[in-house]
Amino acid sequence: MAQPERGTILASQQPRIAVLLPCYNEEAAIGATVAGFRAALPGATVYVYDNNSRDRTREVATEAGAVVRTERQQGKGHVVRRMFADIDADVYVMADGDLTYDPKAAPAMVDQLLSEQLDMVVGTRKHEEASAYRGGHVLGNKLFTGLLSGLFGRSFSDIFSGYRVFSRRFVKSFPVLSSGFEIETEISVHALELRMPVGEVETAYGARPEGSASKLSTYGDGWRILKTIGTLYRVERPVLFYGSIGALLVALAIVLAVPLVITYLHTGLVPRFPTAILVTGMIIIAVLCFFAGLILDTVTRGRREVRRLAYLSLEAPR
């Protein structure tokens, strides 16, 4: 029996596909973006969630054939939370409304999700135009990707890609907590922590059309992403997080205590009493950090089991 070509949705499966496009002031690009996804995925419903745009984003999206809805809380994380809660489908395709992601790659990503029974497929960005992906952002992506891999043991080639395809059980088991652009990091860590089957597809990444401006703040959002990674590491890896703090305190205490011990062995006296008190306090705090990590690890394990059960209770992609 002949195998279907990659990039062609299997007609016999007829999955309900929802294309989710969070938007903020994308009048210049949203029309072409909606048209591109409608052409690439003819059977899909395209949803545009407007996030308090001050231009004609809503009108243009409606004219292009999208279902337009509104999220009043500002920030991409709030929009994703609302989209995941509102929309019911078998397959979810999420992209930005700025025409930087190639809609023609969506069928191949959906096919991979279904044929390999994955829960997420990430569209890793391949850019040929310098204006599409600034050098600072490329460097930051590599640094954060390496950091995530070092902290959590695994990572993706492009953790900040906004082009992703999800299964229903991923979407409905994902407790979105982020409010801004750090949402992609949270999505990646959620998949890694629950050891979900995931894949990657290389996709073209283009420059924004004229009249469309990036809302990403290189330093502001970079700092928020760094804090998000730190928070997720503290929550998901409490033994390592608090154990590292405890180990650092013990090392410092030993450095401070060595001269005191040498003096005591020679003279039988402890002349620097404040230092001795400081060392004792540091050791006590270090022990508390170790035990806090152990206790929180038990709590984290329980939370992870609950999330895993919620994830497994939903139907797998077909």
Distance CA 218, CA 202 (A): 24
pLDDT above 60: residue 13: no
For residue 127, report the phi and psi dihedrals to the nearest 5 degrees.
Answer: -115, 140
Summarize pLDDT for 191-238 with one digit per residue, the tens: 888 888 999 999 988 776 665 566 666 667 677 778 877 887 888 889
Distance CA 223, CA 217 (A): 10
Percent of the chain with pLDDT over 70: 85
pLDDT above 90: residue 32: yes
Q: What is the mean pLDDT of residues 13-38?
A: 92
Give residue 115's identity as a one-letter amino acid code: S
Q: What is the mean pLDDT of residues 252-271?
A: 87
- The helix (H) or strand (E) run that includes residue 23 is strand 17-23
Summarize pLDDT for 177-192 with one digit per residue, the tens: 888 778 888 898 888 8
Q: How many residues does the chain have?
A: 318
Q: State the first-to-last Cα distance of the chain, in angstroms, to the nearest integer.
A: 19
Provide the pLDDT confidence category of residue 11 given band limits of 50, 70 and 90: very low
pLDDT of residue 120: 95
Q: What is the mean pLDDT of residues 26-49?
A: 94
Q: What is the mean pLDDT of residues 263-279?
A: 85
Distance of CA 291 to the CA centre of its chain: 30
Structure tokens given for 235: 């929550």
- The helix (H) or strand (E) run that includes residue 116 is none
Q: What is the mean pLDDT of residues 146-158?
A: 74
Provide the pLDDT confidence category of residue 132 given band limits of 50, 70 and 90: very low
**Which residue did the predictor score with more confidence, 309 or 165?**
165
pLDDT of residue 317: 60
